[in-house]
A = this chain, B = another copy of it.
């Protein structure tokens, strides 16, 4: 039975050898040599240090194209013209499915035709060498971003390739990203990823790990995102990770977003062991965007405004072309600059909004309920607790496509635009808190003169892309 326990060294080595055999480029990974490579990197490429020592929110876009030279050009552009502080390398979907053969085909087709036939950078196919060419070329820290349930080979290659930050986790890269992978399976696989990051950490190369906070990106109640982030932080800590960045996706209500980021920071520091340095990342609106760049710029700016008030350590920006498809590099850089302008204009202002403490308190109480139920379900073991709580529905994520989550709860906005839970299904929660949500939602239903129903949820899903926060009839 899998538990929250550190993978022993010999087991680490065994799995490492095994997974590196999955694709030819795995053979090029040499841990000792990789440590030496990381040690040779200048300070400004050390992800954890740069992030942890920043005195205002650092900006990071999303970006990945199949070919190495294009990826270099893209990141140089985002660094130079977009003024990004931290850079990403987003991995393609075939690699996420461990379909390295298909990724290879796509990469070759991309090389032949010049077209982007993959939706990201196939790092496994590029191998250690390819990754290092990228790391060497770019004068800033770079994170691997993906969505891979089984990211073991990707981690082995990208860590050896010089990346010092790796997004994802066993829940956050399972529940929103895949249908059939069991939680037990993804937890086991991510224990390896974290253990490998821990092995580098032990040797002084602190690999930053970032659970994917926004989950399904669609009206996720803050406490659910925070609880899952904390669990993934705990799992990573057990395996020796010492730099953890917990994430949260904007819901669009400024008070709730600021409160959530505050709660995230406070609770993470409380729940995670002292030796872990916790930072936070705020994702600009992750749900459906307006099909209009001008209006999308408004959505992005509201994110920038929220970031200026809450001051997370990092902000992941969106581009005005989010609705349409993978953005041009110009649009991607534009999203960065719009965000930067708003943050820099607002961050020195003294903007103290009423009601943040109350909302934060509510979010913290909810999160504790969820953490308690995980603890209880697992008899003190967070791995078993997580598996069983998802299984019983005591822990759940709205719009989860995964068979591992019930996906039975339904969120809706209250009259002030804060995300509440409309259908609780089996989610574990104090009755008193449920009453608060209920009262808020019935206030909205009253305002609108209609019943609470799935129609309301659907309207809320579309609201921001339709130009409003709340999906009023």
Given A467-B344, A469-B344, are A298 and B338 neighbors across the interface (CB < 8 Å)? yes
In the bound complex, residues from chain B placing their C-beta under 8 Å from that of A296 are 341
Are A350 and B255 touching (Cβ within 8 A)?
yes
Copies of the polypeptide in the assembly: 2
Are A304 and B298 touching (Cβ within 8 A)?
yes
In the bound complex, residues from chain B placing their C-beta under 8 Å from that of A334 are 293-294, 297
> Chain A: interface residue count, which band?
35 or more
Interface stretch (choices A95-103, A202-210, A351-359):
A351-359
Among B292, B337, B351, B354, contact of A292 (Cβ-Cβ < 8 Å): B337
The dominant DSSP class at the A interface is helix
Given A345-B468, A417-B349, A467-B344, are A295 and B255 neighbors across the interface (CB < 8 Å)? no
Given A305-B305, A344-B467, are A349 and B253 neighbors across the interface (CB < 8 Å)? yes
Given A254-B349, A348-B470, are A342 and B302 neighbors across the interface (CB < 8 Å)? yes
Are B295 and A348 touching (Cβ within 8 A)?
no
Interface membership of A346, Cβ < 8 A: yes
Closest to A342 in B: B298
Given A350-B255, A353-B351, are A345 and B298 neighbors across the interface (CB < 8 Å)? yes
Interface membership of A88, Cβ < 8 A: no
Are A341 and B470 touching (Cβ within 8 A)?
no
Given A302-B305, A338-B295, A345-B299, are A353 and B352 neighbors across the interface (CB < 8 Å)? yes
Are B255 and A345 touching (Cβ within 8 A)?
no
In the bound complex, residues from chain B placing their C-beta under 8 Å from that of A297 are 294, 297, 301, 334, 338, 341
Among B302, B333, B345, B354, contact of A345 (Cβ-Cβ < 8 Å): B302
CA A294 to CA B78, docked complex, whole Å: 14
Which parts of A292-347 form the interface with B (CB within 8 Å)? Answer: 292-302, 304-305, 333-342, 344-346
